[in-house]
Structure 1
Amino acid sequence: MTEAADSTAEAEGGRRIAVLGEMLELGDQAVDAHREVGRFAAEVGVDLVLAVGGANAKQLALAAGAAGVPEIAFVADNETAATFLESTLKRGDVVLVKASRGGQLWQIAQALTGQPVTSL
């Protein structure tokens, strides 16, 4: 997840937006791992973190904000995330959509592009 965020921060374009879902099956390390990703997003210069999911995604967003990401948002589901992004995105923005497969965040990309997207 941190490598993907780092790549997004290096991309040329407008704002760097990280749409991040929960990393599943981390057990006792889940909360700390999500907080680490939030802090890392700030470290690499992400402009907006949109965290999608449950309690761990919320921890990610809170850590990102505390570490200095200028704009953070937290939503519970993919449909709300897509709606949020539709009203927020500007031409030239660079967007990373990343989570465990179980989060099915590919649905967000599909909603935004209108093109079929499969989980990779």
Structure 2
Amino acid sequence: MNQENGENNLRKNPVSPVTGISVTASLLTQTGLPNVVYSGLAIYYEGRIHNFTEVTTVYMMRLTDEEIENYLKTGEYIGKAGGFGVQGLAGSFVERIDGDINNVIGLPLSRLAKELKTILRL
């Protein structure tokens, strides 16, 4: 771990350009804990609004400071909600996912297809 003036550099920066939150702090609060991802969608069809919510839980392994520091060096966290994407290098930090992985990546495709079939009566 890098030490400078007796301080732990890992617990400083970088700051996410998307959220303005320290990526390191975000990763440290997620390590070893389940992270719940919610997506809410609304479909307007034939004068009616159909809405639904999809929930997926991502279980992250406990990461060492060194693992977080090495991950931050890759720059992969940039533009990622929570500082990581399950479809990239950080996917190796995931122990398991309960629910639709597509919900975590960005859009719950399976649920959307199911809802569209119901709405369109297919």
TM range (shorter): under 0.3
* Structure showing greater relative contact order (alpha-carbon pairs closer than 8 Å, 6 or more residues apart): 1
User: Which structure has more strand as a fraction of its residues?
Assistant: 2
Instruction: Give TM-score scaled by structure 2 length.
Output: 0.23
Q: Larger Cα Rg: Structure 1 or Structure 2?
A: 2
User: Which structure has more helix as a fraction of its residues?
Assistant: 1
